[in-house]
Amino acid sequence: MKNILNLAFYKSIINSDFSLLSLNSNKNINFIKTDVKINSYNRLKTLDIFQLIKSCKQFIRILQFVKLQNLAEVNIIVLNKQYFHLLKSYFTEFPTGSNLKIHYLINKSKKSINTVSLDIIIGDSKLEINKNRVKSAFMNKTFLLQNINPNIELSQMGTYKIYNDTSDFKKIVFLISLIDLVFKNKF
């Protein structure tokens, strides 16, 4: 049964556009497997599928760990206002049954001492902002950080990372469905 679920997960990543990038960057990035030049303006890049699956599985395991804790809280920090409203309306309409909070730009919630907290940062932010965000998260006793963006960061600073283009609407929908499936015990 587990092999069937793994195969379905692999197929969903490959069949969706989650492994494709349309960033117009000429940088040589370790996460990119192939680079196809469509015309002089557009390039299509595919991510290394094994690296992508590994980082998605880490994300799923973190969500499962937080879900099993009694006093757990998940904060999704979105750096795009449209995606903030999309996530807010989706998780208001279809609640996950866990302590899930959506924030725009910063995490405003205060944590108690016994709370296990996960901050998921979705969006294209610069490294300087991420350094300050990580420092403030550690000061607020948040030790699980998941970063989802297309930036190349020299130091992960103790965070988990999914390298992907978060300006693409389909990728946000994929992430929403992944979070929803984990919290509803379907994954």
- DSSP secondary structure letters along 95-143: --SS-EEEEESS------TT-EEEEEEES---HHHHHHHHHHHHHTT--
Structure tokens at 103: 């924030």
Q: What is the pLDDT of residue 27?
A: 55
User: pLDDT by residue (tens digit) across 63-121?
Assistant: 888 888 877 888 888 888 888 999 888 888 877 767 888 888 776 666 666 677 788 88
Beta-carbon contacts of 24 under 8 Å, excluding residues fewer than 6 positions away, are 41, 42, 43
Q: What is the pLDDT of residue 127?
A: 45
Q: What is the pLDDT of residue 46?
A: 80
Q: What is the pLDDT of residue 174?
A: 86
User: pLDDT by residue (tens digit) across 134-184?
Assistant: 666 666 666 677 777 767 666 666 677 887 777 788 888 888 888 888 888
Q: What is the pLDDT of residue 45?
A: 78
Phi, psi dihedrals of residue 169, rounded to the nearest 5° = -60, -40
User: What is the pTM for the complete model shown?
Assistant: 0.78
Domains of the chain: 51-183 (3.40.50.10490)
| Residue 86 CB-half CA count within 13 A | 16
